[in-house]
Amino acid sequence: MPVREMIKTHPAEINLDRERLADAVLALVDCAQACTACADACLSEENVAELRKCVRTNLDCADICEATARVLSRHTGYDANITRAQLQACVQACSSCSEECGRHAAMHEHCRVCAERCRTCEQMCHNLLDAIT
Amino acid sequence: MPVREMIKTHPAEINLDRERLADAVLALVDCAQACTACADACLSEENVAELRKCVRTNLDCADICEATARVLSRHTGYDANITRAQLQACVQACSSCSEECGRHAAMHEHCRVCAERCRTCEQMCHNLLDAIT
Amino acid sequence: MPVREMIKTHPAEINLDRERLADAVLALVDCAQACTACADACLSEENVAELRKCVRTNLDCADICEATARVLSRHTGYDANITRAQLQACVQACSSCSEECGRHAAMHEHCRVCAERCRTCEQMCHNLLDAIT
Amino acid sequence: MPVREMIKTHPAEINLDRERLADAVLALVDCAQACTACADACLSEENVAELRKCVRTNLDCADICEATARVLSRHTGYDANITRAQLQACVQACSSCSEECGRHAAMHEHCRVCAERCRTCEQMCHNLLDAIT
């Protein structure tokens, strides 16, 4: 993924730690795709009735991660307040989703993989938040 | 828009004030469309160079409002923490965007309309937040 | 929804029939919200196992309608080829989704409402396509 | 990105060539992020007034690639007609966007990187389309 190249070639001043920023965008895009795929995999499982909350949380997490990845991919006219608030929402979504997927990780491999990606994404967003003044 | 009909026919328990919920979803969808259109209208203005921050904030606000509208359209396996955090991010995005569009409202009618929609959306999300326990 | 106001105040030349354009954007935004809500309502139904395909088609249709609404909300640097191809994909998604939701309309009121919105959206996109040269 | 792992652990029958499918999803997610970042980088360039069409096409391409990546990440209740039509729209968007970014590649490195990603994505979607019967 050309995240680092796009950051390096951006003409605007970037008001965020570039390493943490790139790590966060990569983790967000990963997590969004995993959540979209996990929601659909759950939907195909025989025990779909027990996975309702997992599907729903995956869908929320995918939507929130995608919106956050887009916000972090922009540097023109930077507004720290929007970035901070959206990162906080994303940390919450990833935390809830890793917990919910974690409950089904022993039974469904896609939930195990997805829970892991949510945890990584939560951590990367947390690291970036710490660097926003 | 069939927002109220979809809420009325949903089989799950809905843990939010139904009137405030419907008002918020309607305002979010309105605001997202206005921001997408305003970003593009700014891009076509002769003085686009002075509207860079306006375009960017419009794009962020559109993405955040769409994600929030989707989260609020789901009631299965409700997680108040995700809803609350995403609503807070949305209040921030709408507040920043109405301020930025407001700066250009006297010159560009699309910015005036968009600023108004952002203010309404901020208020509706605020009202819903107040009702989340 | 300020769709007509945003079209009227756009500084660029608009290369599409403005009435049909506004009708299509309104129908797309409606349909996307109905599909997101219907997918989640299906997920909460007792017979969710019989509604798997309906959930999936609703999710596809919501994503495709939202992307199409965004493309149609932009007029700067218009490219008829993108607009036409995305409208054709949207007509297909709405047709498949109205058919699938229609199968459950007698049993689930949310599917009945959603099928109707998909049919309207399909028609409005079709009308707009006919006007693209 | 866990695209291949998510495909391997999906419980449903997958009606697409798994290698081509994974290649397409990876290219789509790459391309969407590059287009979002390129639109914003263009917006920050001194000669933004000459990049209007480039910003707009990038925004369309990002929206269309994200919707396509989501459709391809689902396998429950597969509908070849939706997949095919959305892939065709995506091939068109990537073709237009690589051409438009290509015009500015000599002057702006972010346009060069983005044009390349669009071309790869167009090719991967084309390859997948060829495998849909």
Q: Tens digits of per-residue pLDDT, D77-118?
A: 999 999 999 999 999 999 999 999 999 999 999 999 999 999
What Cα–Cα distance (Å) separates residue B52 from each residue in A81, B48, D32, D50? Answer: 18, 7, 21, 14
Contact: C81, D70; criterion CB under 8 Å:
no
Q: Could you tell me what percent of chain B has a pLDDT over 90?
A: 98
Q: Is the dihedral of CA B107, B40, A31, C39 positive or negative?
A: positive
Q: Could you tell me what percent of chain A has a pLDDT over 90?
A: 98
D55: closest CA among D108, D126, D11, D2? D108
Q: Is A33 exposed, middle or buried (0-12, 13-18, 19+ CB in 10 A)?
A: buried
Contact: A53, B63; criterion CB under 8 Å:
no
How many residues in total does chain C contain?
133
Q: Tokens standing for C122?
A: 């399909």
Contact: A40, C48; criterion CB under 8 Å:
no
Q: Which one-letter amino acid corresponds to residue D65?
A: C
Residue in A6, A61, A71, A101 to test binding to D, most D beta-carbons within 10 Å: A6
DSSP at B12: S
DSSP-assigned states of every residue in B54-107: HHHHHHHHHHHHHHHHHHHT--TT--HHHHHHHHHHHHHHHHHHHHHHHHTTTT
CA of B59: which chain C residue's CA is closest?
A: C70
Determine the angle formed by the axes of helices D52-72 and D18-44, rounding to 10 degrees. 150
Token pair 């050309």 in the structure block, residue: A2
Q: Is the dihedral of CA C38, C40, C45, C48 positive or negative?
A: positive
Over 80: is that where the pLDDT of D126 sits? yes
CA gyration radius, chain C: 15
CA of B51: which chain A residue's CA is closest?
A: A77
Q: Which residues from A are below 8 Å from C59, CB to CB?
A: 39-40, 59
Mean pLDDT of the residues in chain D: 97
Per the CB < 8 A criterion, the answer to whether D45 and D1 are in contact is no
pLDDT at C7: 95
Q: Which residues from A are below 8 Å from D110, CB to CB?
A: 6, 9-10
Other C-beta atoms within 10 Å of B86: how many?
Answer: 29
pLDDT tens column, A112-123: 999 999 999 999
pLDDT at C133: 75
Contact: A92, B77; criterion CB under 8 Å:
no
pLDDT tens column, A29-45: 999 999 999 999 999 99
- Distance from the Cα of residue A44 to its chain's centroid: 23
CA of B39: which chain D residue's CA is closest?
A: D56
How many residues in total does chain B contain?
133
Binned at pLDDT 50, 70 and 90, residue B15 comes out as confident
B27: closest CA among C1, A13, D25? C1
Per the CB < 8 A criterion, the answer to whether D100 and D54 are in contact is yes
Binned at pLDDT 50, 70 and 90, residue A133 comes out as confident
pLDDT at D15: 85
**Which among C2, C25, C43 has CB closest to B113?**
C2
pLDDT at D116: 98
- Distance from the Cα of residue C25 to its chain's centroid: 8
User: Residue C82 belongs to what H/E stretch?
Assistant: helix C80-103
Can you tell me the ipTM of this complex? 0.98
**Which among C1, C62, C113 has CB closest to B33?**
C1
Q: Which residue intervals of chain A are DSSP H helices?
A: 3-8, 18-44, 52-72, 80-102, 109-130
**Which among B77, B92, B100 has CB closest to A52?**
B77
Contact: A52, B89; criterion CB under 8 Å:
no
Residue in C48, C65, C92 to test binding to D, most D beta-carbons within 10 Å: C92
Residue in D42, D43, D46 to test binding to B, most B beta-carbons within 10 Å: D43
Per the CB < 8 A criterion, the answer to whether C14 and C7 are in contact is yes
How close, in Å, is residue C57 to chain A by CA atoms? 11
Model-level pTM greater than 0.90? yes
